[in-house]
Amino acid sequence: MNNIILVAETGSDIPKDIAEEMGIFLVPMHVTMGENTFDDGTFPVEKICEYYNDTNKIPKTSGSSPQDFIKVFDEIHRLYPDKQILHLAYSAVTTCSYQSALIASENRDYVTSIDTKQVSIGQGAVVIQTARYLKENPNVTMDELIKEVRNICSSTRMSFIPGKLEYLRAGGRVSNAVFIGGKILRVHPSIEIENGYLVAKKKYRGKIEGIVTKLIEEYSNMQNLDKKEVYLIWSIGLPDTVRKAAEDKAKEIGFEKIRWMQTGCVITTHGGPGSFGIVGFSK
């Protein structure tokens, strides 16, 4: 049994059952709707869309606070006083969570934090891959694991097509020009994660079913993704026909294991319903 426990934010969108199975502790991020703030993961993601439809306003998201981390760090230390904690953080340039963890780790020499420079399923993929490595290498030291994590982070690639650009615009993730162009010309920009930032890249035009298959093929080739495994991202509202087309394309180009992951409340607030994405590991 290894001596290291992994921690990530709920914004990693790792399902609770997988987190429990792999021994991953999750620290809540937060979503504010009107005057009420909720812990991410404690309410159905459908409420994000309902709030927007009812108010024409986008909920606000916020990172985990120092107190959120202190609560989890201390609980882990109480249960496993001889173990170390490795926090694999949500992209530090997008939220305060990483900084909050550093504050919370003061006077807790058993805690180490690393910025994954990923969000949502991108971060989740890094954490899951790290958990697998830990299981396969139970005697790994913290220094050795950190080196492996940095390799995993450097090879992780994520791109997604937002379902509704107004969600990204309201959150300041895309410019007004990109939003207007998308609305008028029915253009769907792909959003890639580069050094932690969400960057608008190639613009796709047409029906979403054709767009997602193009994205899978083009992004896989461009990033030279390892065909052993791929994560396909979907948010509430993405039609089943689109999911089937995406999975068929992933199989066609040779992915051996296809893992579907649904976006949670934080990233759905920014990408909106009907979003699709892909996460893989560059060879």
Rounded to an integer, what distance in angstroms lies between the CA atom of residue 205 and that of residue 116?
Answer: 31
Distances from the Cα of 173 to the Cαs of 10, 179, 193, 205, 269, in angstroms?
A: 20, 10, 12, 20, 11
Q: What is the dihedral sign for C-alpha 181, 34, 262, 267?
A: positive
| pLDDT at site 165 | 63
Of the chain, the percentage scoring pLDDT greater than 90 comes to 81
pTM of this prediction?
A: 0.93
Q: What would the pLDDT profile of 154-168 be if each residue is shown by its tens digit?
A: 999 999 998 766 665
What are the pLDDT digits (tens) for 27-70?
999 999 999 999 999 999 999 999 988 998 889 999 999 999 99
The answer to whether 19 and 26 have CB atoms below 8 angstroms apart is yes
Phi-psi domain of 265 (left: phi exceeds 0; alpha: psi -120 through 50; beta: other): alpha
Environment class of 193 (CB within 10 Å of its CB; exposed 0-12, middle 13-18, buried 19+): buried
Percent of the chain residues topping a pLDDT of 70: 92
In this structure, which amino acid lies at residue 17? Answer: D
Tens of pLDDT, residue by residue over 188-218, are 889 999 999 988 888 898 888 999 999 999 9
pLDDT for 185: 44
Exposed (0-12), middle (13-18) or buried (19+): which is 159, by Cβ within 10 Å?
buried
